[in-house]
Amino acid sequence: MAQLWGGRFTKETDKLVYNFNASIGFDQKFFHQDVQGSKAHVTMLAKQGILTEEEKNQIIAGLDSIVADVDAGKLEITSEYEDIHSFVEANLIDRIGDAGKKLHTGRSRNDQVALDMKLYVRDEIKELDELVKKLLVTLNKIMEENLHTYMPGFTHLQKAQPITLAHHMGAYFEMFRRDRSRLADIYARMNYCPLGSGALAGTTYPLDRAYSAELMGFAGPTMNSMDSVADRDYVIELLSAMSTIMMHLSRFSEEIIIWNSNEYQFVEIDDAYSTGSSIMPQKKNPDIAELVRGKTGRVYGALMSILTTMKGIPLAYNKDMQEDKELTFDAIDTVKGCLALFEGMVSTMKFRNDVMENSAKHGFTNATDAADYLVNHGVPFRDAHGIVGRLVLYCLDKKISLDEMSLEEYKAISPVFEEDIYEAISIKTCVEKRMTIGAPGPDAMAKVVEWNKKYLEEN
């Protein structure tokens, strides 16, 4: 059992205890970050005269050879080692001898693991951001192509008012834009280096923590050594942001599932993102959307787990905090997978424009505009509301839409109606006269599409 401690112990750790305590099975995921941190650390130690230049060069060459062998499959990370730190250090000593034993000078596993986790999370935030951005590019393309694609807008899953597909997609664009801003906020807030904090109280070695931070692209060193090794706020924040991303994906998935149903038929999901039934040959199931919706609970669970783990931990480091890794790694992989698959599904999905427009026409989505017509002709709004309500009842009884009523039928309910009612309640008019920024009018939406393009180019 290769471990970095044991001098004060008189007997070996029980095998079950060792296995329960070990983290090599999952913390090997930040092997490259561990080496990156070690190289920065020894570079700083040499600058400060704590190591010689020759020792620094030996250690860095040894670390590089370990990375090369692991990446090439010549060296396996196995459960022989307690954690990734002991794997790297033990192999380094095997390769370069006593110089390798100086790697850990002025450093504890507490600040080492805090650094590794920050480096890993920082890298993953960049990848998550790129995936969200790719989805935004796809959504804006759909928006640009569907400025005049009419569909019903819903409240309470009831048809409410006519909008465009561009407008509907634009709502999700705003959600995922906010998701990117949350990721950027987390990155900026967490981007301070804990290396040099030691176990909890720093070290007596004359470390240059600012230099170490600079070598790894941090904004600077952390300001309290106890907080540095005890902080997992950035993990909680990332899991929270990812939970919000998954919530947005899940809402979107729910709508796609509904739109894909036989009753709606607003969309057709590409065969590459659908599955069939083992018994019913006619089925084409939206499994990707359903799985994204389902995996949302998995990410929520990771957030609840780390919050529960951290809530009762005193300062500074406690072994409970080892629990942050598996759930965070799993949640990151889950969200990345969902984003990639979801973008592929949406980018290949076919929208049934004719079905959506027909649904808007026959769902009384222009009823509010009929009431506005009466108001513009001098009828008090509350009276207009009641008149249009009677129109809807009449249409339901006759199984027709407002557009299909004759002028005589209109006048039988209110003499205020004239021939221009048909223009006033056409789906095209209902949408196009809503021209304030944020509304579905095509001119307003065209401006939003251009703003979105500029945002994507600059961010």
Catalytic residue among 104, 156, 197, 401: 156
Amino acid occupying residue 253: S
Which residue type, as a one-letter code, is found at position 279? I
Instruction: State the Cα angle at 339 between 335 and 345, rounded to 5°.
Output: 140
Q: Which residue has the tokens 């952390």?
A: 222
Q: Among 299, 290, 300, which residue's Cα sits nearest to residue 336?
A: 299
Q: Report the alpha-carbon distance of residue 451 to residue 325 in Å, rounded.
A: 39
Contact 317, 110 (CB under 8 A): yes
DSSP class of residue 267? E
Return the number of other C-beta atoms located less than 10 Å from residue 36's C-beta: 20
Are the beta carbons of 321 and 232 closer than 8 angstroms? yes
Residue 10 tokens, joined: 């008189």
DSSP string, 342-407: HHHHHHHPEE-HHHHHHHHHTTTTTHHHHHHHHHHTT--HHHHHHHHHHHHHHHHHHT--GGGS-H
Q: Which helix (H) or strand (E) holds 242?
A: helix 233-260
User: Are the C-beta atoms of residues 111 and 37 closer than 8 Å to each other?
Assistant: no
As beta bridge partners, residue 351 has: 267
Are 164 and 146 spatial neighbours (Cβ–Cβ below 8 Å)? Answer: yes
277 catalytic, yes or no? Answer: yes
Q: Helix (H, G, I), strand (E, B), or coil: what is residue 290? A: helix
CA–CA dist 387, 371 (Å, integer):
8
Cβ(236)–Cβ(182) below 8 Å: no
Catalytic residue check, 156: yes
Report the candidate in 357, 354, 355, 353 with the shortest Cα–Cα distance to residue 426: 357
Q: How far apart are the first and last CA of the chain?
A: 48
**Marked catalytic residue, from 79, 181, 261, 277:** 277
The two beta strands, 192-193 and 220-221, are: parallel
Catalytic residues: 156, 277
